[in-house]
Amino acid sequence: MFTIQQASQRTGLSEPTLRYYEEVGLIGPITRDQSSGHRRYRESEIDALQALACLRAMGVGIEDMRMYQANRAIGNAAAGEQRDILNRHAERVELEIATLRVHLEYLQAKAGLWDARERGDAADEAEAQLRVHEILPQLESTLR
């Protein structure tokens, strides 16, 4: 059995988050120490919380976490639904990565522009300016 502090350390979730997850039914109810009333987490609950911590880190919302936890309890019969939940979030992450790539290209192009200006290299500056203008339509689409 683990205290809330130990559960927090093992999962990377804050103590308020652990309490919240119990409150909203993602985990628990958690056993309480009879003398102190403090929460005591079992290894299986730590495992479930670690899975939730991973989902949370990837931007999965409470409702999908709740469904994921319910499906974990069902097991293989819910495998298709688990796959669908994870694939939906994988698609969202792919879009975020694509957006970040555009942002990175823009930042690098602008840095190149300012580098050329610092060096007084008009040819490199013109080339960098063209690159910035090529990226702008993609960048603008990510800002909407």
Where residue 8 sits, what CATH number does that domain have? 1.10.1660.10
pLDDT at 116: 96
Q: Say whether both 75 and 107 belong to one domain.
A: no
Number of domains the chain contains:
2
Domain co-membership, 24 together with 51: yes
Q: Are residues 98 and 60 in the same domain?
A: no
pTM of the model: 0.73
Tens-digit pLDDT profile for residues 107-133: 999 999 999 999 999 999 999 999 999
State the Cα–Cα distance between residues 22 and 8, nearest whole angstrom.
13
Secondary structure of residue 2 in the 3-state scheme? strand
Query: Predicted confidence band at 67 (pLDDT cuts at 50, 70, 90)?
Result: very high
**% residues pLDDT > 70 (the chain):** 100
Look up residue 117 and give its two tokens: 């200006």
pLDDT digit string (tens) for 8-54? 999 999 999 999 999 999 998 999 999 999 999 999 999 999 999 99
Task: Tell whether 15 and 67 lie within a shared domain.
Answer: yes
Are 54 and 8 part of one and the same domain? yes
pLDDT at 132: 95
Is residue 10 domain-shared with residue 71, that is, in the same domain? yes
Q: What is the spatial distance between Cα 28 and Cα 78, in angstroms, rounded to a whole number?
A: 20
Owning domain of residue 27? 4-80
